[in-house]
A and B are shown apart, each in its own frame.
Chain A
Amino acid sequence: DSGVTQTPKHLITATGQRVTLRCSPRSGDLSVYWYQQSLDQGLQFLIHYYNGEERAKGNILERFSAQQFPDLHSELNLSSLELGDSALYFCASSVVPGGTQYFGPGTRLLVL
């Protein structure tokens, strides 16, 4: 158990819909990272927040957005979902940027 929690574990939805994935970092960790894992692309970095502020953006679509709240939990919002958005979404946290990242168990999203 890494100490990072993600909900929900599984999510099935339809094209065009919007979903919110939630992540609670390890106690004391200020950095939260979101990654997408698909079979053909592997693990891809989406976005990084540190203490509530966006620090870096990766290959994140404009239809996707994220935020980190004052209690340090983070949410990843995915809208206008397409079939190709079906993937595993992981959250990771670290004490500071550049520190060891600990991954949560992931949310498996299936868009039908």
Chain B
Amino acid sequence: TQLLEQSPQFLSIQEGENLTVYCNSSSVFSSLQWYRQEPGEGPVLLVTVVTGGEVKKLKRLTFQFGDARKDSSLHITAAQPGDTGLYLCAGPDSGNTPLVFGKGTRLSVIA
């Protein structure tokens, strides 16, 4: 089973600050996905990155897939309290369809 390591595990910042969270692996992934999960809810897909070096933007969120397809990052600009949640990265396990998830970064944005 391929592993995904996420850092930091916890992050607490003030509204308006910028932040970056990371998702790393020693294995190559064909694609990586980022999800956000709020308390009492299931994970919601934010983006899928497929090509090495790819950058995708979703409003204030910027996602990057590493050139070697072993890592990814999520950058949030001017964080808002609504960004609070658990951010998970996931990818297909050894080419299979089930997803392997990182343990997530729990973000808290304080107004």
Q: Identify the A interface with B (CB < 8 A).
A: 2, 4, 31, 33, 35, 41-45, 48, 55-56, 58, 90, 92, 94, 97-98, 100-106
**9 A-B pairs with least C-beta separation:** A103-B42, A42-B103, A43-B101, A45-B98, A97-B97, A98-B97, A103-B43, A90-B42, A104-B42
- Partner pick for B97 among A43, A48, A102, A103, CB 8 A cutoff: A48
State the CA gap A90–B44 with chains docked (Å). Answer: 12
Q: Check if B41 sits within 8 Å of A102, measured CB to CB.
A: no
Main secondary structure of the interface of A (DSSP, over half): strand
- Name the segment of B19-27, B75-83, B88-96 touching the other chain: B88-96
Q: Check if B96 sits within 8 Å of A56, measured CB to CB.
A: yes
Q: Identify the B interface with A (CB < 8 A).
A: 35, 40-45, 48, 88, 90, 92-93, 96-104
Q: Check if A2 sits within 8 Å of B42, measured CB to CB.
A: yes
| Residue among A33, A42, A102, A105 having the largest count of chain B Cβ atoms under 10 Å | A42
Extra contacts besides A45-B93, A45-B98, A101-B45 (11): CB < 8 Å: A4-B42, A42-B101, A43-B101, A45-B100, A92-B42, A100-B48, A101-B99, A103-B35, A105-B42, A106-B41, A106-B42
